[in-house]
Structure 1
């Protein structure tokens, strides 16, 4: 049996894409962060840091982080401190 389950990570182009979504969430907005190029463990750690800083909930879905509420300015600061360039797309 294959003991190592390696999932390929989409490489980052250096930009963290941040967008606001409400579709399929009963009108509640979430901030979706994609394009980070991190493995699942690093994504979970960054998501935890973002949720704690924003004081909200959220989750990791595939290769994206979802943070509840509209805290784009706070998220931008945390991502830039972590070495990402932030690009706002749509919404």
Structure 2
């Protein structure tokens, strides 16, 4: 009984509905750390690395927020403090953000 989403719905795989479903089922958390010289870093954690391309998502978030950042240890680190704007960007990508 191991069917994937496209087998169940009968829709073509090119639509990417399985990817949308995988991201909507994940619950991520946002926290702010302080690094060297008191600089804030926003950390987004809680991803399933097998279901999400973290490098591509980090690139999208960095471009949307116009900041630098990196992927480290299955989490995304963004330079600066980005509360509501980051929540909105993650919601646009289909993720649920826990408070």
TM-score, structure 2 as length reference: 0.68
Pairing 1:1-91 to 2, within 5 Å after superposition: 14-22=26-34, 24-39=35-50, 42-88=53-99
The 1:54–1:21 alpha-carbon spacing in structure 2 relative to 1, beyond 3 Å, is same
> Which of the pair has more CA radius of gyration?
2
Offset from partner CA, 1:9-67 (integer Å, 9 cap, x none): xxx97211100000x42200010000011349710000001111111100000101000
Q: Which has the higher contact order (CA 8 A, sep 6+)?
A: 1
TM-score of the superposed pair, with normalisation by structure 1: 0.73
Evaluate the alpha carbon distance shift between residue 39 and residue 26 of structure 1 in structure 2; reply closer, same or farther with a 3 A threshold: farther
**Count of residues in Structure 1 that have an aligned counterpart in Structure 2:** 76
Give the gaps of 5 or more residues in structure 1.
1-11
CA RMSD of aligned residues (A): 2.1
- Indicate the SS of the match to 1:36: coil
- Whose helix proportion is higher, 1 or 2? 2
Measured after TM superposition, the shift of residue 73 of structure 1 is 1.3
State the 4+ residue runs in structure 1 displaced beyond 4 angstroms: none
Alpha-carbon separation, structure 2, partners of 1:27 and 1:63: 24
Structure 2 residue runs of 5 or longer lacking an equivalent are 1-22
